[in-house]
Amino acid sequence: MKLTLRVWRQKNADAPGAMATYEVDGISEDMSFLEMLDTLNEELILRGEDPVAFDHDCREGICGACSLVINGDAHGPERTTSCQLHMRSFEDGDTIDVEPWRAAAFPVVRDLVVDRSAFDRIIQAGGYISAPTGSAPEAHATPVPKADADFAFEHAECIGCGACVAACPNGSAMLFTSAKVNHLNVLPQGAPERETRVLDMVRVMDEEGFGGCTLTGECATACPKGIPLPSIAAMNKEWLRANRKAPRRG
Amino acid sequence: MTYLDYEIGAPIKDEKAPGGPVAERWDRRRFEAKLVNPANRRKHTVIVVGTGLAGGSAGATLAEQGYRVVQFCYQDSPRRAHSIAAQGGINAAKNYRNDGDSVHRLFYDTVKGGDFRARESNVHRLAQISVEIIDQCVAQGVPFAREYGGLLDTRSFGGVQVSRTFYARGQTGQQLLLGAYQALSRQIAAGNVEMHPRTEMLDLIVVDGRARGIVARDLISGEISTHFADAVVLASGGYGNVFYLSTNAMNSNATAIWRAHRRGAYFANPCFTQIHPTCIPRTGDHQSKLTLMSESLRNDGRIWVPRARGDRRPPHEIPEDERDYYLERIYPSFGNLVPRDIASRAAKNVCDEGRGVGPGGQGVYLDFADAIRRMGRKAVEEKYGNLFDMYERITAENPYEVPMRIYPAVHYTMGGLWVDYDLQTTVPGLFAIGEANFSDHGANRLGASALMQGLADGYFVLPSTINDYLARAPRSEPVAEDHPAVREAVTGTRDRLARLLAVDGDRTPDSFHREVGELMWEFCGMARTEEGLRKALDRIPRIREEFWRRIKVPGTGEEFNQSLEKANRIVDYLELAELMCLDALHRSESCGGHFREESQTPDGEAARKDDEFAYAAAWEFTGGAPVLHKEDLVFEYVHPTQRSYA
Amino acid sequence: MALASRTDRKPSLPRTFWRSTVGKKTVMAVSGLIMIAYLVAHVMGNLKVFFGPGEFNAYGHWLRTMGEPVLHYEWGLWITRVVLLTAVIAHGVSAYQLSRRDIRARPTAYVHKRRHASYATRTMRWGGVIVALFIVWHILDLTTLTVNPNAQAGHPYENVVATFSTWYGNVIYIVAMLAVGLHIRHGFWSAAQTLGVGNASRDRALKALANGLALVLTAGFVSVPVAVMTGVVS
């Protein structure tokens, strides 16, 4: 396959960026999208040019590092991560646009690499259950109904890649935040911090500069792990409930 | 002088494990260890490198105890460490199934599975702690699979006869890692952990014989910085990426442990690598990494190749009597469920005979046609649906209709930094946990034991044993930035990076990585021979020499430069590869994942030589030929026997 | 020691709501539902036009006397107006502030534009603006009678017929009612999500309810100008 790539190039966070055009040839349809970029980078290095920087690590769709907007779609045309997208999804002679995640809360680091530490700060605000090592009761002390365990798992699958933010026209992080809130809030172990968790996480989510949710559903369509859109409604419910119940002082 | 001129130094011994009954040793050690007064803990700083299961859990736990933790990871977030990719599950001797499991049985299975090359004390402790890990993870909200009654589900895994593996669908590693990450996040928010993401450790700072800090590079700005502490914990994972193609993450690397080795930490059993039999085969030279599929597939899939070599017919055109179900043929009683090392080697053998399938003939069929006929497509879908989907996404072949193609791939490294019972390396104050150390798996790791060991080390072992070091270590003065040891480490790091940038040759970092990887796969992979290893030992220094002559790294050191990161990691692979080959050469027995063709039973199985090699090989770095220190392994409870699966 | 990492101090409830995107969306949802409830009552009143000027004008007069004798003359009407005005302002200000925030959250647009992205968001924003402008005209036309061609106080039936006897009156009204319909279609479902009523199993029912509500309201409102145009009402 022969392809034309238009790739966002930006030296660092402060430098201006622009799309640059590259031709790549000899692309096999068995290659993953990132292996296609590897091929381009090998050529760029030998030509004495800077290779295209992009985040990637596990290349099996679970670490959440890869983060490419391909032809306007977060992670490209298939419902998967960029690393699990294969070139057979494209045709010989195609022109492919590759851009970084775009959000005020995800500033560009270089080329296609963005800073997603805002997600870490949302988790730090309450995306955990306080269970210091050694303090745990016997695992079978608290049975969890299977339906609740499955609901928790479905939301715990989030890989924190940020495709939801990249796809949302408002750059909203509601799907990411709701996935963690729902995972922990449905479990009996998460109950003691149920109210503070959702209030603190939503507060920090807003402070990080993500947009609001207008329920366009783009996030859930882009999510490589299939976190469902009703996850957001479930978090809204938790948030409203927490405002009714949370103790208020000062 | 080459590596072949290695010397044998004084034997080494684990001084920390107490004697007495094996089941009481961990209690005794914890009692005998000195404690640090809770009020004094915040005066102690501990550096933790890596945020996987071991590092994440250790950082969180040390911070909970009151230590000041400074933690590093090269990823953009601690949540992305490669523990996240583990699929199958985590073992624990809970005996919830009432099927005869016990701490002692898990201990026994692990020592035997490791082909009698692990320490009994360590393995027993691991089995004891396994039950606490499950409690801990459930309390953190890890969504393990549950049954309708609300209790935890378990499955059997890796050929053991009890059902002791806890799992969260095919994403157990992810869920356990997120549990540790969340605990760590809580401590970061509380100000107890200072987290440095996108920061890579490039050297260890040893002052007056003690590990006192690290040199690190900020991967965004390129800034070289120093960080000081009272102890340094390496949780940087294994070194499988020496092979270029492996199931490791692209950026997993050996730099932290190799630099520590160069600073005095012994490296134990570097040749013990695990090759996993059920990976998706490579499709061409562009291949950048290999993807593993859970070995649970072997429970129902049948492995075969055509009887005739060079048979290029599509699988459904090959009649039943022209197929060779070679595992069922050679190992009638275990069949497709033989241990990982045996299944891998058998696949290599049939491919070497020219009977491999798929592009390049590097693959064997894993066929579910019989299972679909027997159980129905729906049942197969329920059991393996997500694995089949993953396979189809990568290969564009539908495994319900066409047999899967699989081939072995490097998956895990049992070797690592030598540590004592306290997980301390031979450099005082330097600890190694998780895959970075060598301690618990011997020559072969059982399925679902890696997650168990990482979390045991991080949540329970290290946080107990590090107290003893910190309590006994002499009151440490702050390290001055201009201390000669610091200056030397910083200058060395800067010089190395500058040299990489200055060569401006004509070969890319990846081309060297691929070259050394292919060499290692051929000569230090699934089957090793003296001749091959000697060839590799001859070639590696020459690749290294060429590397420093022809490497081309674009850009500068003062920016986000992924080529520079990569090239700098390859520098270390090119040194580590040589030690791996030397270790494989000197160990002229076969054991576990280390198969020397010269040492096999008449029917082609691995033949151990317990009288000669019942030791862990701890290598000391000298700059020239290394020095081998042997740690004799004593088996008081599990008596070495020859494994037999026929 | 592990320190408590949560802040104990919490701002007051209204502050929490007004500062949070989720809270502001709640304000929009509640104010939106108040307005939908009002529209349901409004359309029922409008349909009285089909029973002739007597009944319609009497209904118009009743609006001023509703609540009597508990309430003074026109108080009921004014209370309704104040509630509505509050809802409109809360809805509009929240929408404006949230939109500003949303635009700031994506400062650099993608070079590669997608066709279908943000359809609902855009129709909500522009639809909202159209409806807001319409309300101004509608009040000037039929409440204050400032721009009404007939402008006869106490004779709403005749004023309505006069408005819909002009081409521009019909165009403005019908376009605005279509915008109202689209706005309710996404807005009602959206409000349900914001208030946490939505879940996977209820989703179809909520969407059907939103569509039905939008259709009934739009058809009800539009039937009046159509009736005037076709001479059914004159």
Where are the domains positioned within chain A?
3-110, 117-245
User: Which residues on adjacent β-strands are paired with residue B606?
Assistant: B600
pLDDT surpassing 80 at residue B362: yes
Scan for tokens 């909970």, then name that residue.
B64
Distance between CA B94 and CA B102 in Å, rounded? 7
pLDDT surpassing 90 at residue C5: no
Selected for mutation to probe chain B from A60, A114, A117, A207 (highest B CB count within 10 Å) is: A60
Q: Read out DSSP for B579-599? A: HHHHHHHH--S-BTTB-BTTS
pLDDT confidence of residue C203: 87
Question: Which chains have 3 or more CB–CB distances shorter than 8 Å to chain B?
Answer: A, C
One-letter amino acid of A177 = T
B246-259: pLDDT as tens digits: 999 999 999 999 99
DSSP code of residue B205: E
Under 8 Å between Cβ of B408 and B77: no
Question: Which chains have 3 or more CB–CB distances shorter than 8 Å to chain A?
Answer: B, C
Tell me the shortest Cα–Cα distance from B230 to chain C, in angstroms.
18
Under 8 Å between Cβ of B532 and B512: no
Distance between CA B427 and CA B431 in Å, rounded? 8
State the pLDDT confidence band at C6, using cuts at 50, 70 and 90. low
Per DSSP, the three-state class of A236 is helix
DSSP code of residue B507: B
Active site residue B146: no
Number of H helices, E strands in chain A: 8, 7
* CB-defined contacts A:C, below 8 A: 153
Q: Pick from B412, B416, B415: which is nearest to B261 by CA?
A: B416
Scan for tokens 């027997």, then name that residue.
B374
Under 8 Å between Cβ of C118 and A218: yes
Scan for tokens 């020592």, then name that residue.
B111
Does B270 sit behind a cis peptide bond, omega within 30 degrees of 0 on the bond before it?
A: no
- CATH number of A117-245, picked from 3.90.79.10, 3.10.580.10, 3.40.50.720, 1.10.1060.10: 1.10.1060.10
Distance between CA A238 and CA A174 in Å, rounded? 13
pLDDT surpassing 70 at residue C7: no
- Give how far Cα B472 sits from Cα of B30, B429, B431, Å: 14, 11, 15
Q: Which segment of A147-151, C7-11, C128-132 scores lowest on mean pLDDT?
A: C7-11
Considering only the beta carbons, identify the residue of C22, C114, C198 that sits closest to A202.
Answer: C22
C66-111: pLDDT as tens digits: 999 999 999 999 999 999 999 999 999 999 999 999 999 999 999 9
Pairing, β B45-49 against β B231-234: parallel
pLDDT confidence of residue B401: 94
One-letter amino acid of C159 = N
Q: Is the ipTM of this complex over 0.90?
A: yes
Selected for mutation to probe chain B from C1, C6, C7 (highest B CB count within 10 Å) is: C1
In A101-140, the residues whose Cβ lies within 8 Å of chain C are 102-105, 124, 126, 130, 132
Pairing, β B231-234 against β B430-432: parallel
Q: Pick from B418, B410, B341: which is nearest to B615 by CA?
A: B418
Domains, chain C, ranges and CATH? 22-102+119-230 (1.20.1300.10)
Scan for tokens 């930094």, then name that residue.
B417
Q: Do B185 and A128 touch (CB under 8 A)?
A: yes
Q: Do A88 and B396 touch (CB under 8 A)?
A: yes
Please state the length of chain B: 646
- Give how far Cα B164 sits from Cα of B159, B180, B277, B636, Å: 11, 21, 22, 25
Task: Give the contacts of B40 (CB within 8 A, at least 6 positions apart).
Answer: none
One-letter amino acid of B600 = Q
Q: What are phi and psi of C124, to 5 degrees?
A: -65, -45
Selected for mutation to probe chain C from A21, A68, A185, A213 (highest C CB count within 10 Å) is: A213
Tell me the shortest Cα–Cα distance from B59 to chain C, in angstroms.
12
pLDDT confidence of residue A226: 96
Q: What are phi and psi of A22, to 5 degrees?
A: -135, 150
Distance between CA A196 and CA B241 in Å, rounded? 43
Helices C53-65 and C75-104 cross at an angle (nearest 10°) of 90
pLDDT, chain C, mean: 91
Phi-psi region of A35 (alpha: psi -120 to 50; beta: other; left: phi over 0): alpha
- Of B340, B445, B608, B643, the catalytic one is B340
Q: Do B288 and A49 touch (CB under 8 A)?
A: no
B224-247: pLDDT as tens digits: 999 999 999 999 999 999 999 999
Helix (H) or strand (E) holding B273: strand B273-279
Locate the chain C residue with the closest alpha carbon to B185.
C5
Residues of C with CB under 8 A from a CB of B: 1-5
Distance between CA A15 and CA A44 in Å, rounded? 21
User: Which residues on adjacent β-strands are paired with residue B304?
Assistant: B365
Q: What is the mean pLDDT of residues B428-449?
A: 95
DSSP code of residue B457: I
Under 8 Å between Cβ of B258 and B373: no
B63 touches chain C (CB under 8 A): yes
Under 8 Å between Cβ of B47 and B227: yes
Tell me the shortest Cα–Cα distance from C89 to chain A, in angstroms.
19
What distance, in Å, lies between the first and last C-alpha atoms of chain C? 82
Selected for mutation to probe chain B from A35, A128, A144, A207 (highest B CB count within 10 Å) is: A128
B187 touches chain C (CB under 8 A): yes
Nearest 5°: the CA angle B364, B365, B368 is: 155
Distance between CA C132 and CA C33 in Å, rounded? 16
Considering only the beta carbons, identify the residue of A57, A124, A152 that sits closest to B189.
Answer: A124
pLDDT confidence of residue C158: 95
Domains, chain B, ranges and CATH? 277-411 (3.90.700.10), 484-611 (1.20.58.100)
Pairing, β B193-196 against β B68-72: parallel
pLDDT surpassing 90 at residue C198: no
State the pLDDT confidence band at C1, using cuts at 50, 70 and 90. very low
Q: Do B554 and A136 touch (CB under 8 A)?
A: no
pLDDT confidence of residue B580: 98
A220-234: pLDDT as tens digits: 999 999 999 999 999
pLDDT confidence of residue B316: 93
Token representation of residue B535: 């060839």
Taking contacts as CB-CB distances below 8 angstroms, the residues of chain C near A130 are 2
B128-177: pLDDT as tens digits: 999 999 999 999 999 999 999 999 999 887 667 899 999 998 899 999 99
Distance between CA B120 and CA B118 in Å, rounded? 6
* CB-defined contacts B:C, below 8 A: 16
Considering only the beta carbons, identify the residue of C106, C119, C193 that sits closest to A170.
Answer: C106
Q: Which segment of B86-100, C4-18, C29-43 scores lowest on mean pLDDT?
A: C4-18
Token representation of residue B306: 């055509």
Token representation of residue C22: 């989720």
Q: Pick from B433, B471, B472: which is nearest to B452 by CA?
A: B433
pLDDT confidence of residue C3: 44
B369-416: pLDDT as tens digits: 999 999 999 988 888 888 898 899 999 999 999 999 999 999 999 999
Token representation of residue A103: 């959000």
**What's the fold here for domain A3-110?**
Ubiquitin-like (UB roll) (3.10.20)
Q: What is the mean pLDDT of residues C217-224?
A: 97
